[in-house]
Amino acid sequence: MKFLGLIKNELIKQWNKLSIKIIIGLLLISIISLPLLYNYFSTHDSDDWYIENYTMDINNYKNSINSLDSARYTELEKTYYQWCIDKLQFELDNKISWSDWRYTLTETTYEKKLTATALEKLLDKFTIKDISNSFLNIDENILTKYENLSEDEIKKEINILNTQFEDSKNIILSKDHKKYTENEVNEAKKSIEETKKNITTLEEELKKSPKDNSIIKNLNSEKENLKLSEELLSVSQYRLDNNISYDDNWKNKTLESLTENITVKYIPLSSEEDFKNDYSYKIQRGYTYEQYKKDYRKNKQTNIDSIAKNWYSLKNNIPNVDFKLDARKSIDATYVIFINIVAIITIIIASSIVSSEFSKGTIRLLMIRPASRWKILLSKLISLFIISLVLLTASITLVTIVSGFIYGFNGLATPVLSINNGIISEQNYFVSILPKLAFASISIIFVTSFAFILSTVFKNTALAVALPVAAFSGCSIVTMLMANLNQSWIAKTFIPYINLSSFIKEGGFMSMLQDQFNLALNSTMGSVQLIILSIVFIAISFIVFTKKDVTN
């Protein structure tokens, strides 16, 4: 009971400090403000600046037209500049930003108009070379296929292109995403049929020349293209069947993710020769073809798993955390920040928890108590861990409440999907982040014990704050600097892992170092190192505190 009294007194002592109350007050303000700020920036259109960009480009093209002389070939440049102005003005009038689904359609639609205009200039006896030099958006090879057509045939092609232009333009003006998807599906089906015909032709050729490697290679390539096209078609068909728009909704984002995952899934394995050309910058850092093949298989499996989860998400109406703006996403976007804040607060408290007793002279009052020295120090250490646990728990709880009020509490009931060995499971959101919180908390334990040993051994509060904060904040910078200098040994030390919260998010710090510097980090090994060092720091603190004489 006396020991519990020591812990209680220590907690009260820390709470009575004005600096601690101010720090906790600032923490509460950040808990309330961060979800609100996240909601503000997530719901406000950041694409409004495209208006200024469009307007500036239009003025530049108008100035270019005014600066041209009256020579015959400047007519082509004027026509091209006017086409650019018309396209930009159309996008401006209809508020089509770069993130709008209509942007890509507008670009391809106006390319049809430009091609039709180029054919008209071809009828006016301009050469293909002259036209392609002036019409920068047209490849010379596109016009070459029209070169041997008669005048009537070219006029027919112009009418077809103009009709396609008007049809696509109407889809954009009416925002008819369903018609757009329907066209995409029909085009994909036509492409698939063409691919199937090519496969049949190649198979016939292979029967005649069974040992022709070029035919075998082309056949295998076409078969992979067919699989890719059919899988992508299934995504477009699902969008069409379920009338899913291209607006900012979770189903659209899931379908976009599916398209990306499927495309990456079918990227072929590079040959050793291509590997040497494509990855020369990583090869210089020791990256081998065997490592590349291992990473390729791993990335492919990751995409296969993502595809399975995305289809499960759509078919079971379970939004991915990253794709729907709800309470889960708000918490997911901010809880790592609070782990870091709690770590800094705990460092500040730990830095003075022992050293302040010496600087104020109150250490002698502690020593005359009947409790032994190790119990006094242990009560301080346990108090630190209690404070950090309470702050972290309170932060996550309060940010959950604030996020719930902003987005509604119903979203918190939506499960999180995970996949293991091809089996998809549904998990409560909070259950899914608990292991991540526990993992990141190892860093809090480490920096706390680091500040604790400095406070105990050196009795210097400033030193006990500066070194742990510098280590916690600068570990990523030091790691990147050493990786850039090709010092891969850094991965075997504890330094890259001091702030484990940077390893929580997929595709974060660990992936960046692997991709850019070929530095493979092992966060499990790093966390074990931090735990061992924490135990060593605490042990040294107790040895010094219990054995060393009190001289002030």
Integer Cα distance of 320 and 297 in angstroms: 24
Contact (Cβ atoms closer than 8 angstroms) between residue 502 and residue 509: yes
pLDDT for 72 equals 63
Length of the chain: 552
**Which residue's structure tokens are 């972290």?**
392
Out of 131-135, 447-451, 483-487, give the one with best mean pLDDT. Answer: 447-451
Spatial contact of 140 and 115, defined as CB atoms under 8 Å apart: no
Residue-wise burial string across 377-413, b where 16 or more C-beta atoms lie within 10 A, e elsewhere: bbbbbbbbbebbeebbebbbebbbebbbeebeeebbe
Grade residue 511 by pLDDT with cuts at 50, 70 and 90: confident
Residue 354: pLDDT above 60? Answer: yes
Whether the predicted pLDDT of 255 surpasses 60: yes
Is residue 128 a contact partner of residue 122, using CB atoms and an 8 Å limit?
Answer: yes
173 has pLDDT over 70: yes
Per-residue tokens: 17: 């400090």
pLDDT at residue number 363: 63
Of the candidates 278, 270, 277, 274, which has an alpha carbon nearest to the alpha carbon of residue 297?
270
Nearest-angstrom CA–CA distance, 71 and 73: 6
Note every long-range contact of 352-356, with CB atoms under 8 Å and residues 24 or more positions apart, other chains counting.
352/455, 352/461, 352/464, 353/10, 353/14, 353/380, 353/383, 353/384, 353/452, 353/455, 354/380, 354/452, 354/455, 354/456, 354/459, 354/545, 355/455, 355/456, 355/458, 355/459, 355/460, 355/461, 355/464, 356/461
Who has greater pLDDT, 44 or 251?
251
Q: 70 or 487: whose pLDDT is higher?
A: 487
**Nearest C-alpha neighbor of 260 from the set 306, 316, 223, 325:** 306
* Averaged pLDDT score across all residues of the chain: 89
For residue 88, give every residue at least 6 positions away whose Cβ sits within 8 Å of its Cβ, in sequence order, or none: 54, 57, 58, 61
pLDDT at 253: 94
What is the mean predicted confidence (pLDDT) over 247-260? 93
Q: Which two tokens stand for residue 278?
A: 């494509």
pLDDT at res. 262 = 97
pLDDT at 546: 83
Strand partners, 427: 416
pLDDT tier for residue 552 given thresholds of 50, 70 and 90 = low
How remote is the C-alpha of 128 from its chain's centroid?
44
Burial code of 86-110, b = ≥16 C-beta within 10 A, e = fewer? ebbebbbeeebbeebbbbebbeebb
Model pLDDT, residue 20: 84
Rounded to the nearest 10 degrees, what angle do helices 50-67 and 74-93 cross at? 160
Give mean pLDDT, residues 129-146.
83
What are the tens digits of pLDDT across the range 298-330? Answer: 999 999 999 999 999 999 999 999 999 899 999
pLDDT at 84 over 90: yes
Mean pLDDT value of segment 157-179: 94
If one compares 313 and 510, the residue with the highest pLDDT of the two is 313
> pLDDT grade, residue 136 (50/70/90)?
confident
* 475 residue type, one letter: C
Model pLDDT, residue 81: 93
* Contact by Cβ (8 Å): 176, 243: no
Give the model confidence (pLDDT) of 360-417 as tens digits. Answer: 767 666 665 656 878 888 888 999 999 999 999 999 999 999 999 999 999 899 999 9
Instruction: Compare 257 and 20 and report the one with higher pLDDT.
Output: 257
73 — pLDDT class (breaks 50, 70, 90): low
Tell me what pLDDT residue 364 has. 61
What backbone torsions phi and psi does residue 279 show, to the nearest 5 degrees?
Answer: -120, 30
Contact of 498 with 534, CB cutoff 8 Å: no
- pLDDT tens, residue by residue, 194-217: 999 999 999 999 888 888 889 999
Say which residues have a Cβ less than 8 Å from residue 453's Cβ, sequence separation at least 6. Answer: 537, 538, 540, 541
Helix (H, G, I), strand (E, B) or coil at 417: strand
